[in-house]
Amino acid sequence: MPIPSFVDTVTLQVTGGRGGHGCASVKREKFKPLGGPDGGNGGNGGSVILRVDPSVTTLVDYHRHAHRKAGHGQPGKGNYQDGGNGSDLVLAVPDGTVVVDVSTGAVLADLVGSGAELTVAAGGRGGLGNEALATAARKAPGFALLGEDGEDRRIRLELKILADIGLVGFPSAGKSSLIAAISRARPEIADYPFTTLVPNLGVVRAGDFVFTAADVPGLIPGAAEGRGLGHDFLRHIERCQGIVHVIDCATWEPGRDPSGDLDALEAELAAYGGLEDRPRLVVLNKVDIPDARDLADIVLPDLRERGLDVYLVSTKTGEGLKKLVFAMAQLVAEHRAVQPPPAPARIALAPPAADGPDFTVRQEKDDAGQPIWRVRGSKPERWVKQTDFANGEAVGYLADRLNRLGVESELLALGAGPGDTVAIGGADAVLFDFAPQVDIGAELLSRRGDDNRLQQLRPAARRRRAKDAEFQARREAERAVGQALDGYDPGLSEGEADEAEPDG
Ligand SMILES: Nc1nc2c(ncn2[C@@H]2O[C@H](COP(=O)(O)OP(=O)(O)OP(=O)(O)O)[C@@H](O)[C@H]2O)c(=O)[nH]1
Ligand SMILES: [Mg+2]
């Protein structure tokens, strides 16, 4: 299929850059063997950003390259060097681009006004290096955090033409001919229906006053049910300030007459909805043809009686066009006076509101019917992605963070037992065997210095303490006896005293 010259809707895959990994490194200096951690942080990945550029009028470029990626962040390096951030990818889009998330169907933004922008795929954060991870309790981390992947999203861009006046009519009524006659736009014109498949925009001058007009593909009765080209393209006239009905007075089609055509068009607009408040003008076209003029003269009083503003024109001879253009201009001017055009809106895609718990735990069953504890939450899921599972210390750090957030106590409270499967995340979840603190060890599930095993004495120490206590008691007793029998030597052997002395 040849690439159309005007693409008004396109689907894009956008991917933010990956964050650079943090670096785990130890400072090396002559005569200073243990210089401490000096690994720098990874740079953040670049984001994919849409920005309105008034000089861009179509989405055709996006048709060719449907996958757009921003730059990756650089990894951190030793000697405190942070990695560079990935470069953002700014995509210029036309004014009036609507951005839809394909997976949810939600409208992310309606980009109006020069410079309006939207971050559609945020870059991943860079991982912290071991220098940044060092704390008083963890002076020399032997690991660093991994950079996160950038966001990846499928979006659809839809161009809603921002015209002041929208021309609506049956196929071949002369809408494109009218645009061509009143502006410098040169749309395709032909005597077969549905010549126009995408809207044409024209800039119209009425004296000093300038406004824009756009035609849309022909409407036929039943468009709301999908007949003809359907009525989806009516979105282009949603933002028009006025609607002009273009009525063909020279059609040979049986059963059609200007009044009936007008009713059919209004019925389709009503089925589309939301356009009721737009002022209307009615154009009776092709009056250069004698039969058409007769017909126009017949229906004119009837239409005027209905309160409509009607113009007899011929796009071929130019008759009536000047009056029509000034009527359109007046309509636009009146509308602009009450409703000044909106100031360029700067839209940023806000992260979802961070209320509610940090994480949730739910019990599920896997395919084999075995219980799985699923942990969801932005923090735990992000932490898992930052973890280098080949590095035990990094895994310990992860366990430490999860524990501090309260994931482990929540699991225990809900009845999870050692060896149960814990999944952190959604479809791409990482699976763990649940191993509460005592089974895994201090390094993995508790903060340094907090390990409760330190509270329990080691067997050797316990034996020594017991022996010491025994000795002290005997000595006390002997001293008491010695005081009674003055001058008596208790006869304590040197070796025994020595053995009781040291303690770890
Ligand atoms: N005689 C005469 N013919 C006209 C006039 N205006 C348009 N036509 C003819 O009507 C036919 C259809 O005109 P278009 O401008 O393509 O009609 P359209 O409404 O854009 O049609 P679609 O794009 O198919 O919906 C062409 O053959 C034009 O030459 C007019 O004022 N007088
Ligand atoms: Mg046309």
Per-residue pLDDT of the chain (504 residues; tens, 9 = 90+): 333 334 578 899 999 999 999 999 888 877 777 778 899 999 999 999 999 987 787 787 788 888 999 999 999 999 899 999 999 999 999 888 889 999 988 888 888 888 888 999 999 999 999 999 988 888 888 899 999 999 999 999 988 777 889 999 999 999 999 999 999 888 888 888 888 877 788 889 898 888 889 888 888 888 888 787 777 778 778 878 899 999 999 988 888 899 999 999 999 999 988 888 889 999 999 999 999 999 999 999 999 999 999 999 999 999 999 999 999 999 998 887 776 655 545 555 544 555 667 888 988 887 777 888 999 988 899 999 999 888 888 888 898 888 888 888 888 888 888 888 889 988 888 888 887 764 444 444 445 555 555 555 567 777 888 888 888 888 888 888 777 665 545 444 444 444 444 443
Task: Kindly state whether residue 351 falls inside one of the protein's structural domains.
Answer: no
Indicate left, alpha or beta for 109 from its phi (over 0: left) and psi (-120 to 50: alpha).
beta
3-state secondary structure 420-442: CEEEECCCCCEEEECCCHHHHCH
Q: Which residue has the least CA distance to atom 12 on ligand 1?
A: 172
Ligand 1 atom, smallest distance to 317 CA: 31
Q: What token pair was written down for 466?
A: 């017991």
Residues 16 and 127 in one domain: yes
Looking at the fold, whether 124 and 170 belong to one and the same domain comes out as no
Does residue 354 fall inside a structural domain? no
Query: Any idea what the CATH number is for the domain that residue 373 is in?
Result: 3.30.300.350
What is the pTM (predicted TM-score) of this model?
0.61
- Domain limit, last residue, from 288, 306, 338: 338
Written as six digits, the tokens of 295 are: 């017909």
Is 289 a pocket residue for ligand 1 (Cβ < 6 Å)?
A: yes
Angle (CA) 137 138 143, round 5°: 165
Are 123 and 242 part of one and the same domain? Answer: no
The sign one gets for the Cα dihedral 413, 415, 418, 419 is negative
| DSSP element (H, E) containing 209 | strand 209-215
67 and 96 both lie in a single domain: yes
Please indicate whether residue 190, judged by its CB atom, sits closer than 6 Å to ligand 1.
yes
Q: Which atom of ligand 1 is nearest to the CA of 188?
A: 16
- Atom 6 in ligand 1: residue holding the nearest Cα: 174
Calculate how far, in angstroms, residue 195's C-alpha sits from the geometric centre of ligand 1: 9
Q: Is the CB of 187 under 6 A from ligand 1?
A: no
Answer with the one of 160, 175, 204 that is the final residue of a domain: 160
Which ligand 1 atom is at minimum distance from the Cα of 285?
31
58 and 188 belong to one structural domain = no
CA of 307 to the centre of ligand 2 (A): 28
Tell me which of 111, 142, 160 is where a domain ends. 160
Fill in the DSSP letter of residue 335. Answer: H
What pLDDT is recorded for position 6?
44
Q: Do the domain assignments include residue 403?
A: yes
321 and 178 in a common domain: yes
For ligand 1, whether the C-beta of 60 sits within 6 Å is no
pLDDT at 498: 44
Q: Is residue 223 part of a domain?
A: yes
Residue reference for tokens 């066009």: 321
The answer as to whether 346 is a domain residue is no
CATH number for the domain spanning 107: value is 2.70.210.12
**CA 237 to ligand 2 center in whole angstroms:** 15
Positive or negative, the CA dihedral 227, 230, 231, 233 is negative
Nearest to 244 by CA among 160, 315, 193: 315
Among candidates 23, 27, 120, which has minimal Cα distance to 73? Answer: 23
Look up residue 396 and give its two tokens.
Answer: 């310990």
3-state secondary structure at position 245: strand
Residue nearest to atom 2 of ligand 1 (CA): 286
Would you say residue 282 lies in a domain? yes
In a domain, 222, yes or no: yes
Q: Measured from the CB, is residue 315 less than 6 Å from ligand 1?
A: yes
Q: Which of 6, 168, 177 to mutate to test the pocket of ligand 1 (most atoms within 8 A of CB)?
A: 177
**Tokens (6 digits) for 170:** 């049956």
The CA distances from residue 472 to 466, 479, 481, in Å, are 10, 10, 14
| Angstrom distance (rounded) from CA 424 to CA 372 | 10
- From the CB of 199, is ligand 1 less than 6 Å away? no
CA of 443 to the centre of ligand 2 (A): 73
Question: For ligand 1, atom 32, which residue shows the shortest CA distance?
Answer: 286
- What residue type is assigned to position 351 of the chain? P
Asked if 100 and 125 sit in the same domain, the reply is: yes
Residue 101 sits in the same domain as residue 178 = no
Domain count of the chain? Answer: 4
Which ligand places an atom closest to the C-alpha of 200? 2
What pLDDT score does 504 carry?
A: 39
Asked if residue 309 and residue 203 are part of one domain, the reply reads yes
Pair 26, 37: CB distance under 8 Å: yes
> CA triplet 480, 482, 486: central angle to 5 degrees?
130
Alpha-carbon gap, residue 162 to 178, rounded angstroms: 18
Question: Which residues constitute the domain of residue 426?
Answer: 360-454
- Looking at the structure, tell me whether residues 406 and 421 fall in a common domain: yes
Q: What is the CATH number of the domain that holds 203?
A: 3.40.50.300
Residues 57 and 113 occupy one common structural domain:
yes
Residue 315 alpha carbon, nearest atom of ligand 1: 31
Residue 217 covered by a domain: yes
- Is the beta carbon of 195 within 6 A of some atom in ligand 1? yes
Based on the fold, state whether residues 374 and 248 are members of the same structural domain. no
